[in-house]
Structure 1
Amino acid sequence: MILTEIGDEKMLSRAMKEAIKVSLAFTSAIVLAIFFGWDKPYWAAITVVTLASNESFSHSIKAAHNRILGTFVGASMAIGLVAFFAQDRFLFIGSFILLAGIFTAMSYDRKNGYFFRIAFIVCALISFMGSFDDAISVKIIFLRLQETILGVVVFSLVYQFLWPMNSEVEFYEQHKSTSKGLHDLVVELTECVSGKRAYTQETLADYQARLLAMSNNIKSHSLILDLPAAGSYQLSQQRKHWRKLTLASYEAIVKLQAWLDKAAPLVNNTSLPSDSEHQQGSTLLSELANEAVIIELNEQLIEISDTVSLIQEARRELHKSAGQLNHSFDAVEKIKVTSHWQHVIKQWNNPTPLSIRLKDSAIVMVSLMASFALWIYLPLPNGYMFPMLAAVLAINLVAMPKFIVNQALVGMCVSGTLVLLQYTFIMPALTEIWQLAAFYFINLLIIWRVCSTPELAVQKVIGANLLVVLTMSALYLTPSFDITASLNMFVQVFLALGVIRFFIAWCKEG
């Protein structure tokens, strides 16, 4: 029986339900891996965290497919590197850095970028953790595959049976939210043109931010229309119509962005008293002298408004039809789009210019060169750990804006300190498997609930990863509690992050 009745539905927010699901899957993956006698249970737990970080269950399943396939490819590359270049460290390092640059450039693909990223990460893990030995590397490959598949299976079962969220329902909700956002924005802009609302630099920035959020929302959830729609009968039957509505919404956003760009020079920044509606009117578009431009903007806004109204009408018509086959939808037929679905998807899949991708590849390669130099010429503890951490962090952080990298540094400091305190004072007292499970469940529940807002998404992933990475010795088949090893790991994470942050701050814009 599907567990949709657990707890009082009114008492649990969606964020809390999501936190409970990911905590249960995370803990179950660890417990099962220990039960099976596998050596690194935290790999299965990290798989759960990665899949749970996606926008919807459909996105997570796509990521799971890419993660398993990327594990195979990355393992094959690692075997090749170890087999051919293990005897010459500079040849190995050069080949590894070249692979890092190539896979960084390819990781910007919106649809399959995660495949390239995880392939390189697995290649790095197996190459270094295998101590450049073929037999050990093969053993680690099989263990990694087992842990990855376990994480995927546990995640899928928990998310299918505990408060399941149908991707079809989520797609409808997101599309409804976008169309409502477009309608509200058009109404506000119409009021600006008619003189009922002030149009200032602040409101302009707010409108542009809202349009950017809607554009990103459409790009993200459009993937659902290209994924298998098992269990989503209505969406699968109406896929062509929803694609048209998605294109129409995106074109409306593009037109509104162009409208705002054209109207931006007309904004009057004169500061006026707030107690006079008439004086505030001088900041409105309707009060400006350039009447020809105002008339043109008004006509464009009316056209966009008509399109948005048709989109809303078509959305309601499609939603009520219950997936009727060969049904004619008048509102959908009235909507005119100028772009083709495959062409737009191709643009969305590679939004980053080649020059920026090559520049980021160069940043990763230079960061790894510096990390290998530190590893070779400085007496760093933990052997292979430092260059491996640098490789994993570099390919993940280089695509992020600089302020996100700074936030990641702060998040690592706070999360790492809290985890190490618990590792020192609480975990040695946990002698039973259920106590260990409760420890991880409660910690991840708090992390996922506190960091449920979009702006804290990076902190959520960082906290969950550090939770298992810094306490990994407690998950061994023969547990050990050595604070020195965890502190060394923590210091090396910061050192690797510092090297990468230096080159990102030096070379990257934005």
Structure 2
Amino acid sequence: MFLSDKAKDSIKVGLAMVIAYAIALYMDWDRPYWAGLAVAFISLETSGQSFNKGAQRIGGTLLAAVAALVILSLYPQQRWMFMVVLSSFVLICTYMKSTTRNAYFWNVAGFVTIIVAVDSASSNEPAFYTAMLRIEETALGVITYSVVSAILWPKTSAKALYGTTSQLSRAAASIFQDTLDNGFSRAPRQYLKQQGKFSALQARFEELSNIAQLESYEIWEVHDLWKDTSKLWIDYERAIEACRQNIDDVQGLDLEKHLPWRKQYMEEIEHRLAGIAQMSSDDHMSYTSPQREFHVNTSDTTGLKQLEKAALSLYVNQLKNLENITYQLYEINAVIFGLHQRSDTSFTITHPQKNYIINIGALKGAFRAFLCLWVAYIIYIYVPDIPGGSVLLILAGVYSISLSTDPYIRPLTLLKIGVPSTIFAACIYLLLMPHLHSFWSLGAVIFISVFSISYFFHSPEATLGRMFGLANLVMTTGISNNQTYSFSYAVDQLLVFLIVIAIFTGVSTFTLNLRPEIQYLNLLRRFFNGASYLLADQNNGITSKDTVWRRYLRRHYVNEIQNIPHIMRGWIAEISPKIEKSELIKIIVVLEALSIRLTVLMDEFKTAEENQFYAVLKQEIHGWSIQLKTDLAGLVEEPSGKALEAAAKEREIKLPEIEETISKAMQRQNKDEVELGEQLNVYRILGGIRSVYQALEDYEKQSQKVNWPYLKEARF
């Protein structure tokens, strides 16, 4: 009988935990549960992932030890300055956790600094001893789990990466076919589910490609190509969504007539994606050069109106972008899997320059951790008989830092997970452990308990339950060579947890107002404010000088409109059941469409800066974008969409004017004098403006189905 992956992973965690405790107890180290915590928190699916997380935990612990010792040496007798500097360092670590790739490193650095500094300040042990002990215990846990994971049913990240590449390319082919066949209109839920699966695979691919190079020389040799591939899959995801946004605008056209190469184009793209899946699945295949003889820019526009030409031009440009991305994906994967020579590739992948942007959400999460730490510190100072003592301060910091990236998790959810897991650990501590007389019996209890928690909370959705279960088991049992048993200790553990959750809830409610309905509305207003600014900036660019500050704001608001719809999804699950959540999700789908259409439009405006034909129509286009900016600014004040009814009527009046303006401009400019690229660029700008108008109309229609009065109602 074969064991499932879930059972194998649980056995590895349980066995590593027993070995870590055995070594720590044999060495007579204080607080062996620190080694147990390291095992609990670094156990992941593959050896590479676990090793990477373990390395980050050790690195974060080293930084924390240095920071704690420095803070203690600077302010040994000044408790308020001590807390000012400690909380400021924690604020920085919490912010960095949300804005860098090595999030776990900064997470560990933040809460371990609190543990070492507070524990040293409130105990008789030297600070250096506490810091070194924490490093030793952490290293023990990391090394133990890494060895067990490498020996027992090892899973390499390289193998997982190849499997993910195959799944990702097949998912890409499926979503490509559904997109061009307008599958979203027929079955929107199924399409969105498929889109979510692709996004999850793409994120997993990016993570594994970064980790696998650490454990596989073959991947390290071409790690730059894996990085290029990851960037191209991100581009593909965005390009396919941009294409979907424009499908409805061209559905009424005879695409077989206007784009005679479309069928051949679709067959070739599907062939390329299937080829990538074959390469990564180790199926024997020979390299076949991708076909590129169809002319994506050519189209028969006979009989089309000007705005229909604009929509078709925008659609063709998106197809061209998809063709280029899939061509590059196929060629790079052929090099990675040894079917093609690197020197034969005729292109290079340009990675965007990373410019710093202040992350508002991360700043709020860091500020909440800062306030939680201060509230706990004041309680600790002025309420000397508080249960747990310094443990209260430590746990307040640990929970607030760890949950800083999940602001939508309700305190009730934490209580439902934390209270039962604490009671479960207390039962083991009070009812079983006093009857154990050897490490063999203790090891059996540890193994069974850890295995059970890991097994029943194995799925990604149950990660929070798994972490709480293992952490509370390790902390509540407090296993050591000088074991004592106290009912009041177990009760204090539960009381400290409840007080920490109360602090967390109070800070969240009275400072940041994290009620889901309010956050949903605030994010909605932020989105429309960002969109309005980008259009205003585009219009101001005609007369104003481009400054460093303007460029920063432009990056900031582009980042806002791209990320806010994703953030809004996290809040929907916690919104009151009296509001139909499916309608709120549809609002987000419309916002995602609007985000992509605005981004595409901004890119086309940038391309048009040197366009002579665009200069002829600049003033008219400026007027239309001013109206769009006004509509979006109105949504900042009133996000229910009522003001858009007039805008929709005005759009119906203006469309014929737009077509007449284009026709006159084409007549004034001799058609032969206008380059095809410039002409298509202007058509794409007009198509982009039209598509943004259409997205606003969709928002207005969808907003009528939302219970706005209840969503805005003031409640505690």
Distance (Å, rounded) in 2 between the aligned partners of 1:401 and 1:257: 28
**Residue 32 of structure 1: how far off its partner (Å):** 1.3
Pair 1:304–1:430, CA change in 2 (3 A): farther
Structure 2 residue 449 is the aligned partner of structure 1 residue 443: yes
Letter in 1 for 2:279: E
Specify the alignment match of 1:32 in structure 2.
23
Give the Cα separation in 1 of the matches to 2:76 and 2:264: 67
Q: Which runs of 5+ in 2 are unaligned?
A: 286-332, 520-570, 572-716
Secondary structure of the residue that 1:361 maps to in structure 2? helix
User: Where does 1:20-169 land on structure 2 (aligned, <5 Å)?
Assistant: 20-52=11-43, 54-131=44-121, 136-169=126-159
User: TM-score, normalization: structure 2?
Assistant: 0.59
Return closer, same or farther for 1:133/1:419 CA change in 2, 3 Å cut-off. closer
Q: Which residue of 2 aligns with 1:247?
A: 231
Distance 1:144 1:191 in 2: 58
Decide which structure has the larger Cα Rg and report it. 2
**Cα distance, 1:427–1:303 mapped onto 2, change above 3 Å:** farther
Extract unaligned runs of 5+ from structure 1: 1-7, 267-284
After superposition, the Cα gap between the structure-2 partners of 1:234 and 1:424, relative to the gap in structure 1 and judged at 3 Å, is same
Aligned-residue offset at 1:335? 9.1
Letter of the structure 2 residue corresponding to residue 19 of structure 1: S
How far apart are 1:447 and its partner, in Å?
A: 1.0
Give the counterpart of 1:373 among 378, 381, 398.
378
Q: Map of 1:3-402 to 2, 5 A cutoff?
A: 8=1, 11-52=2-43, 54-131=44-121, 136-192=126-182, 199-224=186-211, 227-229=213-215, 232-262=216-246, 290-291=252-253, 306-307=268-269, 309-317=271-279, 319=282, 329-330=339-340, 339-340=349-350, 343=352, 354-378=359-383, 379-402=385-408
- 8 Å CA contact 1:251–1:337 kept in 2: the answer is no
Residue 459 (1) aligns with residue 450 (2): no
CA shift for structure 1 position 405: 5.8
- Take 2:263 and 2:204, find their aligned partners in 1: how far apart are those partners? 22
Q: Verify: 1:481 aligned to 2:485, yes or no.
A: yes
**Counterpart for residue 494 of structure 2:** 490
1:201 Cα shift?
4.0
Q: 1:190 to 1:366 in 2, by over 3 A?
A: same
SS at match of 2:455: helix
Q: CA RMSD in A?
A: 3.5
Compute the displacement of 1:242 (Å): 3.5
Q: Choose from 432, 436, 460 the match for 1:430.
A: 436
The offset of 1:262, in angstroms, is: 4.3
Inter-partner Cα distance in structure 2 for 1:59 and 1:258: 33
**8 Å Cα contact 2:335/2:341 also seen in 1:** no
CA contact (8 A) 1:248 1:337 kept: no
Kindly indicate whether the alpha-carbon contact (under 8 Å) linking 1:97 and 1:365 is maintained by their aligned counterparts in 2.
yes
- CA distance 1:201–1:384, change in 2 (3 Å): same
C-alpha offsets along residues 350-369 of structure 1, whole Å, 9 cap, x if unaligned?
9x952222222211112222
| Alpha carbons 1:50, 1:461 under 8 Å: kept | yes
Give the direction of change, closer, same or farther, for the CA distance of 1:306–1:98 in structure 2 (3 Å limit).
farther
1:155-177 CA distances to partner (integer Å, 9 max, x unpaired)? 11101111111221111112222
Q: 1:262 to 1:46 in 2, by over 3 A?
A: farther
**In structure 1, distance between residues paired with 2:395 and 2:8:** 32
User: Match for 1:418: what amino acid?
Assistant: F
Equivalent residues of 1:245, 1:311 under 8 A apart:
no
Residue aligned with 2:98, SS: coil
User: Between the two proteins, what is the percent identity of the paired residues?
Assistant: 20
CA contact (8 A) 2:64 2:113 kept: yes
Helix, strand or coil at the partner of 1:130: helix
1:96-136 deviations in Å (ceiling 9; x for gaps) = 21111111111124432222221122211111111357952
The answer on whether the counterparts of 2:157 and 2:211 sit within 8 Å (CA) in structure 1 is yes
Distance in 2 between the 1:309 and 1:331 partners? 20
Report the Cα offset of residue 327 of structure 1: 8.5
Say which SS state the counterpart of residue 69 (structure 1) adopts.
Answer: helix
Kindly indicate whether the alpha-carbon contact (under 8 Å) linking 1:317 and 1:331 is maintained by their aligned counterparts in 2: no
Larger deviation, residues 481-490 vs 492-501: 492-501
1:490 counterpart letter in structure 2: L
Task: Considering Cα pairs closer than 8 Å and 6+ residues apart, tell me whether 1 or 2 has the greater RCO.
Answer: 1
- CA change 1:380–1:317 in 2 (3 A) is same
